[in-house]
Amino acid sequence: MLIAFILSIILCFLVTIYTIHPWIEKAKSMGLVGKDMNKPDKPEVAEMGGLCIVFGFLIGILLFIGMVTFTGNVANFQIIFACLCTILMIAIIGMLDDILGWKIGLRMWQKPLLTIPAALPIMVINAGHSTMCLPFFGTIDWGIVYPLIIIPIGITVAANGYNMLAGYNGLETAMGIIILLTLGYFAFINNKMDAALLALCMVGALAAFLVFNWFPAKIFPGNTMTYAVGALIACVAIIGDLQKVAIILFIPYAVDFFLPLRKRFHVEAFAKPNKDYSLEMPYDSIYDTTHFAIAMLKRIKNKVYEQDVVAFICSIEIVIALCLIWFYK
Domain assignment present for residue 268? The answer is no
> What is the reported pTM?
0.95
Q: Note the pLDDT tens digit of each residue in 69-99.
A: 998 776 789 999 999 999 999 999 899 888 8
- pLDDT of 303 reads 95
- pLDDT of 152 reads 94
Quote the percentage of the chain above a pLDDT of 70. Answer: 95
Q: Is pLDDT of 165 > 70? A: yes
Q: Note the pLDDT tens digit of each residue in 2-29.
A: 899 999 999 999 999 999 999 999 999 9
- pLDDT of 11 reads 98
Q: Is pLDDT of 233 > 70? A: yes
Domain count, the chain: 1
Between 240 and 129, where is the model more confident?
240
- pLDDT of 38 reads 96
How does residue 142 score in pLDDT terms, banded at 50, 70 and 90?
confident
- pLDDT of 130 reads 80
Q: Tell me the CA distances in angstroms from 149 to 62, 119, 145, 227, one per residue in order.
A: 30, 10, 5, 19
For residues 144-154, give the mean pLDDT.
Answer: 92
Q: Is pLDDT of 66 > 90? A: yes
**Contact call for residues 50 and 224 (beta carbons, < 8 A):** yes
Q: Note the pLDDT tens digit of each residue in 172-187.
A: 999 999 999 999 999 9
- pLDDT of 107 reads 65
- pLDDT of 138 reads 67
Q: Note the pLDDT tens digit of each residue in 199-208.
A: 999 999 999 9
How does residue 266 score in pLDDT terms, banded at 50, 70 and 90?
confident
Q: Is pLDDT of 220 > 90? A: yes
Q: Tell me the CA distances in angstroms from 84 to 87, 186, 250, one per residue in order.
A: 5, 21, 22
Domain assignment present for residue 108? The answer is yes
Domain assignment present for residue 98? The answer is yes
Domain assignment present for residue 83? The answer is yes
- pLDDT of 74 reads 65
For residues 131-135, give the mean pLDDT.
Answer: 68
Can you tell me the distance from the alpha carbon of 62 to that of 11, in angstroms, rounded to the nearest whole number?
10
Task: Write out 97-128 in H/E/C secondary structure.
Answer: HHHHHHHCCCCCCHHHHHHHHHHHHHHHCCCC
Domain assignment present for residue 59? The answer is yes
Quote the percentage of the chain above a pLDDT of 90. Answer: 80
- CB-based contacts of 104-110 (< 8 A; 24+ apart in sequence): 108/265
- pLDDT of 258 reads 94
- pLDDT of 239 reads 96
For residues 297-317, give the mean pLDDT.
Answer: 97
Q: Is pLDDT of 159 > 60? A: yes
Between 134 and 165, where is the model more confident?
165
Q: Is pLDDT of 104 > 60? A: no
Domain assignment present for residue 291? The answer is no
Cis before 117? omega within 30: no
How does residue 109 score in pLDDT terms, banded at 50, 70 and 90?
low
- pLDDT of 232 reads 98
Domain assignment present for residue 312? The answer is no
Domain assignment present for residue 182? The answer is yes
Give residue 37's domain range: 2-243
Coil, strand or helix at 219 = strand
- pLDDT of 139 reads 75
Task: Please name the amino acid found at residue 192.
Answer: K
The mean predicted confidence, pLDDT, of the chain is 92
